[in-house]
Structure formats: structure tokens, C-alpha cells
Structure 1
Amino acid sequence: MGALLDLAEGFWSGAVPPAQFWAPTGRTEELAPGVVFLHAFANVTVLRTGAGLVLVDTSNYVAREKTFAAVRAIDPAPVHTAVYTHGHADHALGLPPFLAEARERGWPRPRIVGHRNVAARFDRYRLTRQHNALINARQFSIPPSWPDDYDYPDTVYEDTLRLTVGEVTLELSHARGETDDHTWLWWPARRILWTGDQFIWVAPNAGNPQKVQRYAAEWAASLRAMAACDPELLIPGHGVPIVGRARIQQALGETAEWLEHLVAETVARMNAGAPLETVLREVRPPARLATRPYLQAVYDEPDFVVRNIWRLYGGWWDGVAAHLKPAPEAELGAEVAALAGGVDALVERARTLAAAGRLELASHLIDWAAAAAPATAAVHAARAAIYQARADGAAALMTRGIFSAEARDSARRAVEPCPP
């Protein structure tokens, strides 16, 4: 085995901690004749064909020149076709250097293949560019950044597409899951499967609190459909490949089970009339899967997934009447502070709760204090400490990113003059 397949063994055995599963090595490895895998943050696969190269995904807009150089180090042949597994910015925005190369060399423009919903996604990204830049900054703790150039698919499909390039024939299937525009690919002649982000070596990203709707039940169904193909090699959207029928069946089947369980348990409680708070308190992933390395809450969290299932089937209202048309946070904070004996008393109680490890409750109190006294440096100093403690204790990137952003914001307000 090569270095990347050796790393895959470490993933499977638990020798590599799940928090490191998404750390890209930048390595390339030929997994099978004519199939070269580029291990980036979002993976790229290069398929050699007699008609030119096929790219499965193109990586992200920030690293597009690096991706181009890596592909060209693999093979200088023209790119015939690029397939987007979905339209996320880390998978579908790496083509500009390849398109420019084709123009400069007089080659045919590479064909771009994706589900028909990719175009609507790109349109939405244009509409909400500034908002997405802020989300990106908060989620990954980086400066705000979001692209404004998109290369739309010129070959689209609805449910399935049989794609032939030279001697290679790939079967593309649409599945809603992490997105509504997802494509998974199957190469029957070689028994190779590309999952896109339907399998990513961590608990499914089916509940992202800052993004549009995800589809847990359909996601699980797509994993069952992939498993039915009986693949021998699985190439995921993130992480490293899985080799061997038994392991692939286990990984796909158990990830489907994880999702199916959360859907069934959530919907059962919704049908029983339970409010969201009860559902969140009671629904947990299957206990028997708790130690699986590919189902750890490294990126998303199970309770976020439950919230997304609730939103899909029941809308955004959580079942608490006061939350339907709530009072402004500043008014609520002022009332609570008055009951507590003032903002200082509220801050002190928040600090006491935080010191006792009750950070969730402390967060409510310090947010009320900040809403009641938004220009008070001492309030923000306490708030920064509480949210930094929450960030430090968070295993999931999304949770850590949001709490870290709040901690940074209050830390800045604690030392900078606040507007009156």
C-alpha cells in the first residue's frame, strides 16, 4: 500500500484521532490503474482516459492554483470533463486555471457535469455573498471571504446520467443529503464509488446551524443505494479512501443507520406532540455506534441534526409559545437584570455558574446581561471568558467556530470604546 492507504488503515483502526481525519496531506496516490487520488481538504480524483482527463471534483477557490499544479504533476493531458459531486465552494470552484489553460492552448473547453440544482445554488451564493463570507469566517475562524465567480455545469441531469469519456463509463445518481444537488458516482467496470460528501469520515453534516436545509432520510437512502452496488473502493469527499467490500458495507450501512435512527426517533416524538426541547433532550444516536471512528461529532453534532429534521418536517417554531413572537432581547435582558438586582449581579451569577461547569446556563445569563448593557466592558469581558470556555470544550468544528466568534467579539468590545 501507499502512504495514503496506510493512513486509511490508521483511520479505520483508530490509530489516527478523528479530529485529524480532515487534515489534508496534499499527497497524490494511484489507487488503481489510471485512478489518481489527490488528498486535499476536499478531495479530487483524476481519471486517465483515451479522450483526456476526468476530474471528480475540483477543490476550492482559495487553493485552485495549488490544485491545478498538483493535477498537472499527475498528468499534462487536457481535461475533457469535470464532475461536481455538489456545488459547495470547497468542491466546485477549482476550474478557472484549467479553463484558462484550455483557452491558451486551443484545447476544447472542459465539459462541466453536475446536477441541475447546482446552478440554483450558485445563483443563491451570488445573492448572499456577504452573508456567506460572514458564515465562513465564523465557521472556520478565518477572515471573511467568499467567491464571486462560478463555472456553471453545461451538462446537467435530473435523476441519473450515464457518462462516457473515452473508454470510461460512469453512472451518476442524484441524492439529496448534505445538499439538494448531490451526485454520487459509480464505475461498474472497476467497482469504484465516489460518495461526494454523503460520506466524509465523520458524523454526517446533516445539521449545520448556519446553512440551508439538509435531508437526513434521503441521505441515508442514498448510502443504502451505494452499498447495494457492492463497491471495492470508496473515495469520499473528505478524508481518505476505504478499500474492501466488508469495510465499505460497514461504513455506508452504519452511517445510514445513524441517520435513520435520528430521523425515526425525532419524528416519533413529533407525532406524539413533544416540543423541540423534549426531542433534543431524548434523542441520541445509536449507542452501539458510539465508538465508530467515522461517526464522531468532529464537524457537526447530533442535536443539530435533530433540529434540522424538526425544521424539515415541522418548520422553525420550537413549540414554546413565547418564542413564536418573542420580546426583543434587550428588553428581556433588562427585565431579567432587574429581577436579579442589576446587571452586575447577573454577570456575577453567570461567572459562578461557569465556574461550576454549567456553561450552557451561564451563556443565557451573560447574553441577557450583554443585551441589557451592550456598552459595558466588564460584561463583555465576562462574556468573552464564558464563550471561550465553551469553544475550548467543543469537539465539533461548527460549535467551536460559533462560540469562538462570540468570544472574539466580546473580547474586542471589552477593550474598545463602545458606542453610546
Structure 2
Amino acid sequence: MPTTPKPATPTIVAQQQEILNTLPFSDRQDFEDATRGLVARRQPNAVTDASGAVVWDNDTYAFLSGDAPDTVNPSLWRQSQLNAVEGLFEVVPGVYQVRGMDLSNTSIIEGDEGVIVIDTLLTKETGEAALALYREHRGDRPVKAIIYTHSHADHFGGTKGFVTQEEVDSGAVKIFAPEGFVEHAVSENVYAGVAMNRRAAYMYGAALARGPQGGVGAGLGQTISTGEVTFVPPTHTISTTGHEEVIDGVRFVFQMAPGTEAPSEMLIYLPDHQALCSAEDATHTLHNLLTLRGAVVRDPHAWSKYLTETVDLFGDVEVVFASHHWPTWGHDRVVKFLQDQRDIYAYLHDQTLRLLNKGLTGPEIAEEITLPPALENAWNTRGYYGSVSHNVRAIYQRYLGFFDGNPAHLWEHTPVERAKRYAKLAGGVDALVSTARDAFDAGDFRWAAEVANHAVFAQPDHVAAREVLADTYEQLGYGSENGTWRDFYLAGAMELRDGQFGTPTETNAPDVVANLSPEMLFDAIAIQVNGPKAWGEKLTIDVVLTDSGTRYRLRLANGVLTYSAAAQQGDADATITATRASLPALAAGSPDALAAAGIEVAGDPSALGRLAAVLDPGDKNFAIVTP
């Protein structure tokens, strides 16, 4: 049975009260906006997959009512109450959103004959449920087009809940996406996908029990659904700001914003509705510049510049809606919202650069930096998803890298070896545990976490060490305003107490892998090569694609798999003949998988076996809070 959570300590209770006394909780405008335009709710809300397993159930957040309990930061409680508001909503006539059906929103624009869908949620099952809710109340209108705002899976993974691949292939449905979408959507979820998905399980708290001592929300939304992630490539690419498309009688004007919240991203203006879809560049939170699941550091300087451009471009805007959260209505309120969002990214960027040029390191800047009162007290710039603390350190990393300039940090021992030495310095693991418990009792949870973490890494099976570290993470979670920090802390406590829960949702799904270009597929295979195991192996494999007429030579030598499409001299050890669609079977490495895909092998078939023998796929259950 799962371990029973513990209550909040007096230190956390006092902190929660201070937050209640500090922030403007009497401002209820967001609650009015989050419920405005409600058409209907889906009751009951639970969404199941083909096997009957529940993949989403917003009803599990029904406890989010009344005042915040001691075990939840009151500011995060407020944000979670807003995020849990679910249903089909009219933004303006002809523009609808389904919210509370996944981590993200789907927006549905009514055209002359059907609808245009902006973003499709994370999984097929939730996408299908969202469309069914819309059709129940607005009629069985066909989907004429889909627009992906950006290259993160919670905005394209549910596409097959709205349309089929056959409908897209036939031309009945068009799919629009920003330039670079496929490359970034696929590579992010495959190259480092195993590690990102495992860490995302912590970040979104998908395995946490819902409740005041467990999962209450991730700040950007409640959590991620656990159904089937699908992928349908776009048929049309948008590459220029100001580009206009008329889709099913509706005008769409696009603003490119690459390198902001996603490497491939665009905002969308509907001039006839005076409505702006801000994608994920302006939402009701300070967003991430570096997500806790891991990603390439985003560019806050470009982000702020694009939001200035947004205000300048769309001067008659009356409502802004986004891929997360609830809309904002009224020209003046919309402009202020966009300007506040712009200013928070510009402020963090500029002040971090100012302080790093004075010699402060990332952690020091994170402690030093303070926000202007106008941004500190604006609910939409609070750190529910990104935080000032980790965003500042991300900016430092973007400009100066991992090294803070102190030679002592250039070649440190690994966490385990460092922990063993700290244990010896302290007089043994028991002494470390005692110190951690003293810090815990004094309410110094940051120090307790550091000390107890050394104890666990020095001796992972030490029961008291695991207990004090879990207790500490739990209190840090209770106190966190940031939803993903809370999830990380509580997930860590859960795994220390009850064992690993793995990866509930995997975005490196078959649909995503199937859309790797040949070059990206070869790169994905190369990442899996166990270098030391392959040191003595040398082989070549030619890959001939019959539908494109392209020929590649793969070469394994010196523990590295490389490839080239240039003409090669001599015969390869083996030659495989395939189509681009069948080529992903190569990643499986087995003769049966190749045969099932219709791939022909000539030459020495053992070459493929030798390649497969040195592949070392990732571990989706790797340890995080233990060595």
C-alpha cells in the first residue's frame, strides 16, 4: 500500500499564511474569465482507452474547492482551481475552446462548411472526447483543417482523435504548422525522449494520487493524459510573419515566433473575430525557459521581442486565447496582459545579464533577483510553471554554460563518490541523517535535502536516510508555488517510500518514430550505440530507398555510427532495400522486424545482427532520487 502522506510542519503552515497575507487574493477577475462563455461540461469527465483504462479524469480534482489546506501553497491552489475549470466554452461567436480535457486546450474555429482545429491535445483519446463534446452542442461539423501552433507533443499528439491519416492524405483535411515543425517535434521526442519522458513523469505528477497532499496541478494545466500519442505531419508550412490563409472562409494571419517557448512556434490572429491565439508565448503563468523535464534553453530576449511585435501587429485585438489557461477579454486588458508577459521575460533576461557581468553565478543571481511590484503582483506572471529561480539559472546556462568559473567545480566527483566523502567527513551516514533531521526540525528544508541526499547516495538502503529525505521533499512540495516543483518533490518522496513508478506517458510513440526522416532515424540509432562495446566492430550497410531513389551508406567504426548520401566506392557488407515508410523497422534491428516491414536484405545479413548487438536503448525506469 502507498505510504500515507504526513501533515505540513509549522514552518510550512506559517509560510502559507504569509502568502495569503501578501498576494492580492481578493482579485477574482481570473475566475470570471475562466468560467465565461461556458456552453457545457462533459459529465462524467473520465476518458478511457480501447481497453477501458482511464487516461484522463478531471473529476479527480473535485477536491479543489474552498480555502487552500496547509499542505498546498495558496497561490498554487488558486491556479489549480482555475486550471480545473472544464468544459466547452465560447470565446467569441464562432470561436470555441475545450478546456480541462488534458494539460493543454484545443480551440475550434467555425468556418463556412466545417471547423478548423487549433492544437489537438496530447493523446488520441482526449482529442476524440473534446471533439465529441463540441459536436454534441454545436453540431456534427466536419474538420476541414488543423493548425499546430508549435512543436510540443501536447499540441499535436491527439490529432488522430480529430481526423484520420486517410482524410489528410486525400486532401480532405489540411494541416498547417510553423517552419521546422516536423524536425523539432520528432527530434525532441526521440533523441532524448526516454530521459525526458521519465523526468516528465516527475514534472507533471501523473503518478501522484490526487488530493491536498498529492497532485493538485502542474501550473500550466493539471497533468498529462496517459493515452496514445499520435502524429500526423503537416501538409502546409507557414514561414513568414504576416502570411494570411483563408481556410473554410475564415481569415488567419500568422506571426512567426521561433526559439521562444518552442523552437518552432507561431501565433495566430483572426482579424474578422479580433481574436488572437497566443499559442504558448503568453499564458497565465511565467513560463519555462528550461523545463524541469529537460530541453534546449529558450531565448527570453527573442520571446520579449516577439511579444512587442504582437502588440504592434494586432492593434485592434479584443480577446486573446492560448493553448493553455483561459482567455482575456477587452482591448486594454489584452494589451496589458501581453505587455506584462513581455516584460517578465525581458526583465529576467536583462537583470540576469547585468548580474552575471558583475561576477554572480546562476544560483547567486536566483537568490539576488527581485521582481518589480507590478510583475510580482500580477497573477499571470507568477511562477506556477516556470519559476524565477530556475529560469534565471537557465539564462546563465544559455550564455555561460554549466561552469561557474570556480576551478573547484570544474572536475568534481560524481554524486555517489561525493556523497561517500561527505559521509566520511560527517562521521558516517548516521551522522548525516542526524544533521538532516535537525535541519528538518528547524524548518531548514533546503539544507536538510542536501544533507539527506548525500546520505541516500552514500548508502541507498539506509532506511532512516530515505525517510528523512522523503519527509523533506514532502514539505518542500507542500510549500512550492510552482506546480512542477511540487510534483518533482512529491514524486521524489513517493519513489523513496514506495519504489519507482516509471513513465506513465511516452511521447516517443510509434507515430512519432514513423515520421523520422532517414537522416534523423540514423541519428536516433547512432545515439543508441554502446561506444565501448563497439570499439572493435567495423561494418558498412547500404540503405536504398526505392521511393526516393536515395542511397545512404552507414558506417560503424571507432564506436561511432555515421552515414553519407554521397557516392561510395566498393560494396558494403550488406544492402537493405526499403521505402521511407518501412525504414523505421531498421531501428528494431531484428530480421523478423525487417521482413515484416517488407525490407529486403542482400549481402552479409550478419552485419545487421552485429549492429543490433551493440545497440543499447535507454532505460525508461532509471533512478532519479537514488543512485
Would you say same fold, with TM above 0.5?
A: yes
Where structure 2 has 5 or more consecutive residues not aligned to the other structure, the ranges are 1-30, 38-74, 208-223, 501-625
Question: Displacement, 1:303?
Answer: 1.1
Shift of 1:155: 1.0
The answer to whether residue 394 in structure 2 is matched with residue 308 in structure 1 is yes
2:210 matches 1:150: no
Give CA-to-partner distance per residue, 1:362-403, whole Å, 9 cap, x none. 111111111111222221112111111111111211111211
1:23 paired residue number: 84
The AA in structure 1 aligned to 2:183 is: A
Query: Which is worse superposed, 152-161 or 352-361?
Result: 152-161
TM-score (norm 2): 0.61
- 1:158-173 aligned at under 5 Å gives the runs 158-160=239-241, 161-173=243-255
Query: In structure 2, what is the Cα distance between the partners aligned to 1:188 and 1:300?
Result: 31
Deviating 4+ runs (over 6 angstroms): none
Aligned counterpart in structure 2 of residue 295 of structure 1, from 358, 372, 381: 381
The alpha-carbon deviation at position 251 of structure 1 amounts to 0.8
State which of 94, 97, 107 in structure 2 corresponds to 1:34: 94
Residues 81 and 4 of structure 1: CA distance in aligned 2, closer, same or farther (over 3 Å): farther
What is the CA-CA distance between 1:243 and the residue it aligns to?
0.7
Aligned counterparts, 1:219-238, within 5 A:
219-228=303-312, 229-230=314-315, 231-238=317-324
Residue 173 (structure 2) aligns with: 110
CA distance in 1, matches of 2:323, 2:203: 19
1:76 to 120, 135, 140: 140
Q: 1:107-142 deviations in whole A, cap 9, x for unaligned? A: 744111111222122322133443233122111222
The structure-2 alpha-carbon separation of the partners of 1:75 and 1:225, relative to structure 1 and needing over 3 Å to count, comes to farther
Q: Equivalents in 2 of 1:282, 1:304: separation in Å? A: 13
1:209 aligned partner: 292
In structure 1, what is the equivalent of residue 256 of structure 2? 174
Return the letter of the residue paired with 2:145: T
Aligned residue identity for 2:35: L
Letter aligned with residue 104 of structure 2:
A
Q: How far apart, in 2, do the equivalents of 1:6 and 1:119 lie? A: 32
Residue 7 (str. 1) matches residue 88 (str. 2): no
**C-alpha displacement of 1:87:** 2.1
**C-alpha distance in structure 1 between counterparts of 2:228 and 2:88, whole Å:** 26
Match of 1:196 in 2: 279
Q: Cα gap change, 1:46/1:75 in structure 2, threshold over 3 Å: closer, same or farther?
A: farther
Q: By how many angstroms is 1:331 displaced? A: 2.0
- Structure 1's 6 and 128: CA in aligned 2 closer, same or farther, altered over 3 A? closer
SS in 1 for 2:411: coil
- Residue pair 2:128, 2:162 contacting (<8 A) in 1 also: no
| 8 Å CA contact retained: 1:275, 1:318 | yes
Q: Deviations over 1:197-219 (max 9, x none)?
A: 11221122333232212221111
Cα distance, 1:71–1:413 mapped onto 2, change above 3 Å: closer
Q: Specify the SS of the correspondent of 1:29.
A: strand
Q: What is the CA-CA distance between 1:407 and the residue it aligns to?
A: 1.0
Q: CA deviation at 1:97?
A: 2.9
Structure 1 counterpart SS, 2:115: strand
Deviations 1:51-70 (A, max 9, x none): 53111111221512212312
Residue 119 and residue 182 in structure 1: after superposition, are their counterparts in 2 closer, same or farther (change >3 A)?
Answer: same
Structure 1 residues 89 and 194: CA distance shift in structure 2, 3 A: same
Counterpart-to-counterpart distance in 2, 1:76 and 1:391: 44
* 3-state DSSP of counterpart to 1:366: helix
1:309-333 C-alpha deviation (Å, 9 max, x unpaired): 1122222223333332210222211
Residue in 2 that maps onto 1:49: 111
Paired letter, 1:93: G
- Structure 2 counterpart of 1:246: 332
**Cα distance change, pair 304–69 in 1 and its aligned pair in 2 (3 A):** same
Q: For residue 122 of structure 2, what is the aligned residue in structure 1? A: 60
Hey, what does 2:459 align to over in structure 1?
A: 373
8 Å Cα contact 1:21/1:201 also seen in 2: no
CA contact (8 A) 1:390 1:400 kept: yes
Bigger relative CO (Cα 8 Å, ≥ 6 apart): 2
Q: What TM-score, normalized by structure 1, do the two folds share?
A: 0.89
Q: Secondary structure at the match of 1:272?
A: coil
| Residue identity opposite 2:114 in structure 1 | G
1:98 maps to amino acid: F
Aligned residue type for 2:130: T
Residue 343 of structure 1, aligned match among 416, 423, 429: 429
3-state SS in 1 of match to 2:278: strand
Shift in alpha-carbon separation, 1:101–1:380, aligned structure 2, 3 A? same
The answer to which of 344-353 and 134-143 deviates more is 134-143
Is the 1:174–1:182 Cα contact (8 Å) retained in structure 2?
Answer: yes
Deviations 1:330-382 (A, max 9, x none): 22112222221211111010111111111111111111111111222221112
Render the CA deviation track for 1:32-60: whole Å, top value 9, x for unaligned: 33222222342222112125311111122
Q: Classify the secondary structure of the residue corresponding to 1:99.
A: coil
1:201-258 C-alpha deviation (Å, 9 max, x unpaired): 1122333232212221111122222222121011122111111011011111111111
Higher helix share: 1
Retained in 1: the 8 A contact 2:34–2:85? no
Cα distance in structure 2, aligned partners of 1:131 and 1:277 = 24
Do 1:258 and 1:286's aligned partners in 2 also have CA atoms closer than 8 Å?
A: no
2:97 counterpart SS class: strand
SS in 1 for 2:383: coil
The whole-number CA distance in structure 2 between the counterparts of 1:21 and 1:6 is 6
Alignment correspondent of 1:353: 439
Are the equivalent residues in 1 in contact too, given 2:165–2:232 (CA < 8 A)?
Answer: no
What secondary structure, in the 3-state scheme, does the structure 1 residue paired with 2:255 have? strand
Rate the CA distance shift 1:157–1:107 in 2: closer, same or farther, 3 A. Answer: closer
User: Following the alignment from structure 1 to structure 2, what is the Cα–Cα distance between the partners of residues 323 and 312?
Assistant: 18
